[in-house]
Structure 1
Amino acid sequence: MEPSQEPTVTGYHHALKELNAWLAKATTDELKQKSNGTRWTNEELLFHMVFGYMVVRALLPMVRGISRLPRPWQKAFAAGLNAATGPFDVVNYWGSRAASTVYNRHRMGRKLDKTIKALTRRLEHETPSALARSMPFPTRWDPFFKPEMTLADVYAYGTDHFNFHATQLSLRPPDSTTLSSP
């Protein structure tokens, strides 16, 4: 693995430890409580944080494909996605609510573990030129989408998204001994 990829993988593993610590520590009542600054409960928000990594897996082939198109087409694609922000927000909200009933506290840790393993395997095989491929992104969809994102940026997005939403949980933070254990 390239040294520049290590922070991304380290972020993945820290997020997994943090998620598992919250899931082990939180009571059912705490998971049903509202989060801070979102309309989701803590459990729904935890799933949404896992979903960010699932989105990365979907975005990777999109960046590989769209980045090969002529530049005006790339910009038109991003503009079209930006125009669809309203419907995206509705699906994003209700999708996370519904999916958290399937990937609940008993399943979301395994889902994140599986997703992170797949992302790490794929990242280990990426070449520097592949990681440098880029395309315009719909910046209205997410605060962590930049106007132009490389494949390396997309790999790192899941952790940025996870860390941001972690601050919105109304759960007590996991203690540092839980996070530092192997």
Structure 2
Amino acid sequence: MDPEEICSELDRVRADFRDLVDTATIAELRQPSDGTKWTNEQLLFHMLFGYLLVRNLRLLVLAFARLPDGASRRFATLLNAGTRPFHVVNYLGSLGGARVLGYSGMERLMDSVITGLQKSLRRQSPASLDQGMHFPLGWDPYFKEVMTLRDVYHYPTQHYDHHRRQLTLASTRRD
């Protein structure tokens, strides 16, 4: 994908996230999602968290791209060894995120993070977008063994779309 296609995806997600939060009732947001242990509001926070994660992942890719390939391979191996604790922290972190931020806070944070990612993406050269590093495959089904910076910018939208299908909000049933 080229940077403008990724930016368009990000615009779509920004509008969709706002629509999901704005049109859902409190009762719907507190209902269980489909296929996860989270409620809809907890899953929405988890979907936002994917974008927050990318702010840091992109910096890791740029740093490891300057090192020998073996460095990121060893780092990914180390992270894979911590897959179980990562999943526990990932799960627990989403339990209270929506309650701490509030729904309008989640919308503002999603807007801010997406705006920042778009600005950062547009500043990248084609060469930097093609730099990559090894990733821990056990952490997420959308992680690939080697991901480029371009892949990392695209990743949270894949993650978002996957989890969006698990929401049980009335608005998602008519899509």
Output the TM-score relative to the length of structure 1: 0.92
How far apart, in 2, do the equivalents of 1:66 and 1:72 lie?
Answer: 10
Kindly indicate whether the alpha-carbon contact (under 8 Å) linking 1:47 and 1:104 is maintained by their aligned counterparts in 2.
Answer: no
1:32 Cα shift? Answer: 0.4
**Residue number among 99, 103, 106 corresponding to 2:97 in the alignment:** 99
The partner residue of 2:115 within 114, 117, 122 is 117
Provide the secondary structure at the position in 2 that maps to 1:106.
Answer: helix
- AA aligned opposite 1:93: Y
SS in 2 for 1:135: strand
Q: Which amino acid aligns with 2:120?
A: R
Q: 1:134 aligns with which of 129, 132, 135?
A: 132
Deviates more, 1:146-155 or 1:15-24: 15-24
> Distance between the aligned counterparts of 1:6 and 1:83, measured in 2?
36
Q: C-alpha separation between the residues in 2 aligned to 1:48 and 1:120?
A: 20
CA distance in 2, matches of 1:28, 1:101: 12
Deviation at 1:172, TM superposition (A): 2.1
In structure 2, what is the Cα distance between the partners aligned to 1:74 and 1:107?
35
CA RMSD of aligned residues (A): 1.4
Aligned position for 1:169: 167
- Contact between 1:47 and 1:96, CA under 8 Å: does it hold in 2? yes
Matches within 5 A, 1:1-182: 4-173=2-171
In 2, Cα distance between the equivalents of 1:102 and 1:59? 24
TM-score of the pair, normalised by structure 2: 0.95
C-alpha contact 2:48 2:110 (8 A) present in aligned 1: yes
- One-letter amino acid of the structure 1 residue matched with residue 83 of structure 2: T
In 2, the alpha carbon distance for the partners of 1:78 and 1:27 equals: 41
Q: Give structure 1 stretches of 5+ with no counterpart.
A: 177-182
SS of 2:62's partner is helix
C-alpha contact 2:24 2:171 (8 A) present in aligned 1: no
Aligned counterparts of 1:114 and 1:35: Cα–Cα separation in 2:
26
Q: Gaps spanning 5+ residues in structure 2: where? A: none
Kindly provide the amino acid, as one letter, of the partner of residue 31 in structure 1. L
Q: Which amino acid aligns with 2:150?
A: A
Letter in 2 for 1:68: R
CA distance in 2 between partners of 1:43 and 1:103 (Å): 11
- Matches of 1:22 and 1:161 in 2, distance apart? 16
1:106 deviation in Å?
Answer: 2.2
Cα distance, 1:73 vs structure 2: 1.8
Across the two proteins, how many residue pairs are aligned to each other?
174
* Aligned mates of 1:108, 1:52 — CA distance in 2: 13
